[in-house]
Chain A
């Protein structure tokens, strides 16, 4: 006897579960182990691929597997998608071997966005650690494109070493924007490095933040975000004005499989961007 229910379920699977084909335009190596895939996005019914800053895609390396990767390009240029990827395993290694013209599968965009409209009229503090700068890059593009709508822009960025810094040319360009500051620190520097050495939380000493007028967006390793949020609160920034982007091992991308469960939340569906009060009690807790 044929189980018709299974067939029905399969045919009615949401479109978000079906990868669309996308073409690789270029692979840019940012560091020894991190690269940016520039992609011609798929077009659905002739429409361009729209996304919001902070969202992610499920990127499929055919024959290998699928991985959740943040979108790191400018939302105002939906005809060119960028994903900055840390090569750490089989999927990300397979993606790193792609060349111009190769095809990948793409599902998305998924997840919540950074609160850019809430930041209008305020100073914005962006604190990023390591590859955490990638999900914040679309925010920076947006802030700079709509420069007059925001107050001061403070970009604090920490990396392991000078060789691990992402988007070096852009960091330089962003620092030249009106009323914008970019402060970079590394955990380890040699004599050729003239910038700051130390953790990213130490950089707040160099900012005189008008905390009642500031909104912060934070992304990086969880422990870095925990300490950064504590530092922001210690300096008087209300928790409601602090947003962070979480990461877990995402599989389905739509809150069905449970792989990315984070306490009562699913990172893929309820996040990845959360306000601090939403998840503060879960940060840095074991078995979450």
Chain B
């Protein structure tokens, strides 16, 4: 895909919604198209986080190693969503395994390239951090809701609880 085509494709991803052309071009210089086959891992827990992904199609499940409980699937991420922010935060290691439930098409963003652009262009750096903060906030909110185990409480329909 030509850089110009890649920029146009990136522009359609919800994570980059309304990003101006100049910043988008900066990001494009760090981006590439990738495909993962169904049943393969995108990355493993403990590995260096050198990339993040903007998913275009397919679904990825995040797994955490639960000791004797084996692999525990904690969340799925799909088209239009962002996968991975460990590249942004020390020690820059993946905290989960990411497994492709279906064939996955994604934009892979090279982290060292992106960090270098962020450090030399503060406006770009702020814009990326602002967008990632929104993703982090929403994931945190979803995790809290998941922890509430709202469907597990012993209350029946229409308040019948006796």
A: which residues have CB within 8 A of B?
56, 65, 67-70, 84-92, 129-131, 134-135, 158-160, 164, 185, 187-191, 193-199, 201-202, 205-206, 220-221, 223-224, 227, 247-250, 260, 267, 272
Contact = CB atoms under 8 A, between A and B. Distances in A.
Given A67-B160, A130-B150, A249-B161, 13 more contacts: A65-B162, A68-B159, A69-B160, A91-B160, A92-B156, A130-B151, A187-B149, A197-B74, A201-B145, A205-B80, A206-B78, A267-B159, A272-B158
A206 B78 CA distance: 8
Interface in B23-82: 59, 61, 71, 73-76, 78-81
Interface of B: 14, 59, 61, 71, 73-76, 78-81, 101, 141-142, 145-146, 148-162
A97 B156 CA distance: 17
A131 to B, nearest CB: 5
Given A129-B150, A197-B73, A89 B160 contact: yes
Given A131-B156, A206-B78, A199 B73 contact: no
A88 B151 contact: no
Nearest to A161: B151
Contacts of A250: 158-159
Nearest to A87: B156
Given A191-B71, A201-B142, A221 B151 contact: yes
B82 to A, nearest CB: 10
Contacts of B81: 205
A68 B160 contact: yes
A4 B162 CA distance: 36
Given A187-B151, A198-B75, A247 B158 contact: yes
A185 B77 CA distance: 11
Contacts of A224: 145, 150
Contacts of A129: 150-151
B51 to A, nearest CB: 21
Nearest to B75: A198
Chain A at the B interface: SS class = mixed
B43 to A, nearest CB: 18
Contacts of A56: 158
Contacts, number: 118
11 contacts: A65-B162, A67-B162, A69-B158, A85-B160, A88-B162, A135-B157, A160-B152, A195-B76, A201-B142, A206-B80, A221-B155
B131 to A, nearest CB: 14
Nearest to A193: B73
A184 to B, nearest CB: 11
A236 to B, nearest CB: 13
Contacts of A247: 155, 157-159
Contact of B162 (A91, A130, A194): A91
Contacts of A91: 160, 162
A187 B146 contact: yes
Nearest to B155: A88
Given A56-B158, A85-B156, A164 B73 contact: no
Contacts of A201: 142, 145
Contact of A199 (B146, B154, B156): B146
Contacts of A267: 159
A164 B151 contact: yes
Contact of A202 (B101, B142, B162): B142
